[in-house]
Structure 1
Amino acid sequence: MSNTKNYLAEVTGNDYIDSELYTRFNVKRGLRNADGTGVLVGLTRVGDVHGYIIDEGEKVAVDGKLYYRGIDVESLVAAAEKEDRFGFEETVYLLMFGRLPSKAELEQFCGILGENRALPDNFAEDNIMKAPSRDIMNKLARSVLTLYSYDDNPDDNSPENALRQCIELIARFPTIIAYSYMAKKHYYDNKSLIIHSPAAGCNSAETILSLIRPDQKYSRLEAEVLDLALILHAEHGGGNNSTFAVHLVSSADTDTYAAISAGIGSLKGFKHGGANIKVMGMMEDIKSNIKKWDDESEVADYLTKILQGNAYDGSGLIYGQGHAIYTKSDPRATLLRDKAQGLAEEKKLSDEFNLYKLIERLTPEVFKKVKGSDKDICTNVDFYSGFVYRMMGIPDELFTPLFAVSRVAGWCAHRMEEIISGGRIIRPAYKCVQSRMPYTPMGER
């Protein structure tokens, strides 16, 4: 439109709200209290994020813990490693059904997921290949909405039917993102179109690696690292933006496909699931501007420039550092970092891995020096996840979709909880601060 700039000026002026008003009316911006704690808006049994304690009214930093249905995620990871098996499917079972499965139950559940990985007849041809997208998250959201039309009973929100829909979506996400990526490569990047069928007996991590690689080859370690990433991203409490979006939309009594697509739309954002893309861009900038990756002084000086807004994107942020809830540590980052070391050695990228660790160690003291703040800064999972994916040759455009493959388990568990225990549409309040104005007749304007 030729008048876009004029319209934009009006919109910008009319939509501006003085930040002082938020303080005056005690508005919980971002649904956060003034001390950084979250506003309590619901109850859940699905997951718990523990990053601090309140002692005599003050927030006290502690080592981070993440619980799935009351079980420490570190225990899930340790058990899978000890028994030399994959753990994501066990995690999905736990989140969906609230308990750990027996060996027979897990095998049966894995079989159910395997049977549902294939997409409905002609779905890939008609909805993915004929309408490819440059952005895989947008294609994933559209595909989920389109699956509504392939469901004989899409609007039945009974727990039984919703559970069936959830399990089908959890199973199909790896196939959807893989096919969407292959279509994007072909139609936008002019690469050969290679489509594999999901192999029988493969878990989620193996399925993903098999479907996105032309030769379908991958190492056991690669599959183990991806499986770990899926476990760690599966759930993060009811208050994270995408899960809350699923709760919010589900509370309106809409269908499963609409609710899950809302979660996808939220997760796409750079302040949420897209954060690891920001980390990778920052790291490329750091690597190109620092001559000696093991020189603590040089690295610290450049981190200082980033924090001062004089390097990288000028935001003043060191991406992948700090978290809304975790204070001393993010258990997901710790687990992924430890597993990444072996992969870095296998891929001969130990020097780069050591740079990541150095930045993790230096950031808190640089932040304190530049900001003059004693705020606890810990590395979050986004700092290492992108690096792990790149070591496996996974393209950047699949980073956030992989997050969705994992987090759909948490979304579905929370949707079931909202259906069973919610009961009321979520409707917080907004205070209107626009002054009253009379209507002016057309001829007097």
Structure 2
Amino acid sequence: MTFSSVKYGVAPEEERADIKILCDEYRKYNHIDPSAFDRYGVKRGLRNADGTGVMAGITNICNVHGYVMDEGEKAPIDGELIYRGINVEKLIEGCEKEDRYGYEEAVWLLLFGNLPTKTQLADFTSLLAHMRELPDTFTEDMILKAPSPNIMNKLARSVLALYSYDEDADDCSLENVLRQSVELIARMPTIMVSAYQVKRRFYDHKSMYFHPPKAHHSIAQTILYTMRSDKTFTEEEAKLLDKCMILHAEHGGGNNSTFATRVLTSSGTDTYSAIAAGIGSLKGPLHGGANAKVMHMMDCIKENVKDWKNDDEVAEYLAKLIRKECGDLSGKIYGMGHAVYTKSDPRARILKENALKLAQNTEFIDEFMLLDSVERLAPQVLSAVKGEKKIICANVDLYSGMVYKMLRIPPELYTPLFASSRIGGWCAHRVEELITGGRIIRPAYKAVSKDCEYIPLNER
């Protein structure tokens, strides 16, 4: 057997043929009987049989509450998202009543465990604004000279690259990690917008704009100001984006990206490696990438359903999605269902309410009502097609993409915006793992391969 792909100048079709040979070889020796997972009591996805998560740690940072256990069975309740003992809905209500931005306050709360005083919040907000600037030549060397069509990829690469600009990159003391955390929280939006502008130039063949941020702007204001070519935005737009960032800032230690951050942290590695792991996880379509998937799904529905107000037509198309007859053939209705929330996702409730306000009397109202129909019809269609009786609700992804669309945020920034918000939670969990963890996280895997003899090369 020879592989032409090792030869210089190999044709693409020959390379594909070689890779197929390798794939066939892999499949021949790498099958695991699905029944083995049940036989050995493996909790796939670290989920218990009832869908709850395997208990892997203890945290002070966040409580994601979506059900209660009643005589050994899950009883659904309206979901709650609680940051350091404070319901996120109350946090948002407080900012609304005082007509101010709240993401910076949410980050302080997550990192330090208490609500900041007025002076502390003002000083912290100023510190974040001061730290937004990237190191000298970083934008040119790491972003302009190495553009990426995927902004999440560029975020991860840039965070890893910041290691080289930090004289104390490997110092895991509380003082140093907090300093690194605040810097990364401040810099992530800057990297995101810069990577987007470079992507526009190199891949979309459009103009790119680099606007110096204003010191008095909040993080939400800064994102809109630096992202848009004309630098203009309304306070209504910026405060809605601020709410989105608060809602995305944290979601417990068990979500995939935060757990990934804690796993790497437990090994003693540096802050940049741990946070890059979180970004890599969030990039996945089953995690942070789901908000973009919702919008792609909605495009398919809009193209194939003639009457958006006809429940029967919408339900019929949803059934086709579930049966893998259309869409991306995944069999999923994106934006529906959650690992913890049952009756409702508080983030979806808040975003839906704000999306409706923004959509009223605009060209977006019909699309909003179509989303509402998907939310209303999906549970009964899933039950009819798959026979599932469990209660499911809309999750945050169903409405976040719609909100971003109305804010004129391009789709390629939906998940990066999630990352620029969630970094507050990632950093809080990294610090907590360093201070309270004490052991490297190492779950077990059952080996099911059979013993075999080594055969000399010339006898194979």
Q: Same fold (TM over 0.5)?
A: yes
* 2:208 corresponds to which of 184, 188, 193: 193
Q: After superposition, where does 1:74-153 map in structure 2 within 5 Å?
A: 74-153=89-168
How far, CA to CA, are the matches of 2:242 and 2:132 in structure 1?
17
Summarize the Cα distance change of 1:142–1:55 in structure 2 as closer, same or farther, 3 Å threshold.
same
How far, CA to CA, are the matches of 1:94 and 1:15 in structure 2?
47
Query: What residue in structure 1 maps to residue 458 of structure 2?
Result: 443
Query: What residue in structure 2 maps to residue 232 of structure 1?
Result: 247
Offset of 1:356 from its aligned partner? 0.9
Q: After superposition, where does 1:15-414 map in structure 2 within 5 Å?
A: 15-345=30-360, 347-414=362-429
Relative to structure 2, which stretch is displaced further, 47-56 or 240-249? 47-56
The one-letter code sitting in structure 2 at the alignment partner of 1:349 is: F
Offset of 1:314 from its aligned partner? 2.3
The one-letter code sitting in structure 2 at the alignment partner of 1:321 is: M
CA contact (8 A) 1:95 1:410 kept: yes
The one-letter code sitting in structure 2 at the alignment partner of 1:94 is: L
How far, CA to CA, are the matches of 2:234 and 2:202 in structure 1?
29
CA contact (8 A) 1:197 1:211 kept: yes
Query: What residue in structure 1 maps to residue 9 of structure 2?
Result: none
Query: What residue in structure 2 maps to residue 8 of structure 1?
Result: 23
The one-letter code sitting in structure 2 at the alignment partner of 1:188 is: Y
**Cα deviations across residues 385-434 of structure 1 (Å, max 9, x unaligned)?**
11111111111111110000000000000000011011110111111100
How far, CA to CA, are the matches of 1:346 and 1:211 in structure 2?
28
How far, CA to CA, are the matches of 2:335 and 2:428 in structure 1?
27
Offset of 1:347 from its aligned partner? 4.3
CA contact (8 A) 1:347 1:391 kept: no
The one-letter code sitting in structure 1 at the alignment partner of 2:450 is: S
Give runs of ≥4 in structure 1 deviating > 3 Å.
none
Offset of 1:12 from its aligned partner? 2.3
Return 5+ residue gaps in structure 1 as ranges: none
The one-letter code sitting in structure 2 at the alignment partner of 1:40 is: M
Offset of 1:13 from its aligned partner? 3.0
How far, CA to CA, are the matches of 1:335 and 1:398 in structure 2?
21
Offset of 1:308 from its aligned partner? 2.2
How far, CA to CA, are the matches of 2:72 and 2:334 in structure 1?
30
Offset of 1:191 from its aligned partner? 1.2
| RMSD (Å), alpha carbons | 1.1
Offset of 1:364 from its aligned partner? 1.4
SS at match of 1:147: helix
Offset of 1:376 from its aligned partner? 0.7
**Cα deviations across residues 178-204 of structure 1 (Å, max 9, x unaligned)?**
000000101111112211112111111
How far, CA to CA, are the matches of 1:32 and 1:324 in structure 2?
9
How far, CA to CA, are the matches of 1:152 and 1:313 in structure 2?
46
How far, CA to CA, are the matches of 1:385 and 1:219 in structure 2?
19
**Cα deviations across residues 321-346 of structure 1 (Å, max 9, x unaligned)?**
01111110000000011011121126
Return 5+ residue gaps in structure 2 as ranges: 6-14
The one-letter code sitting in structure 1 at the alignment partner of 2:225 is: S
The one-letter code sitting in structure 1 at the alignment partner of 2:403 is: V
CA contact (8 A) 1:246 1:262 kept: yes
How far, CA to CA, are the matches of 2:52 and 2:441 in structure 1?
20
SS at match of 2:454: coil
Relative to structure 2, which stretch is displaced further, 339-348 or 317-326? 339-348
How far, CA to CA, are the matches of 2:52 and 2:30 in structure 1?
27
SS at match of 1:54: strand
Q: Percentage identity across aligned positions? A: 56
SS at match of 2:101: coil
CA contact (8 A) 1:185 1:193 kept: yes
The one-letter code sitting in structure 1 at the alignment partner of 2:227 is: I
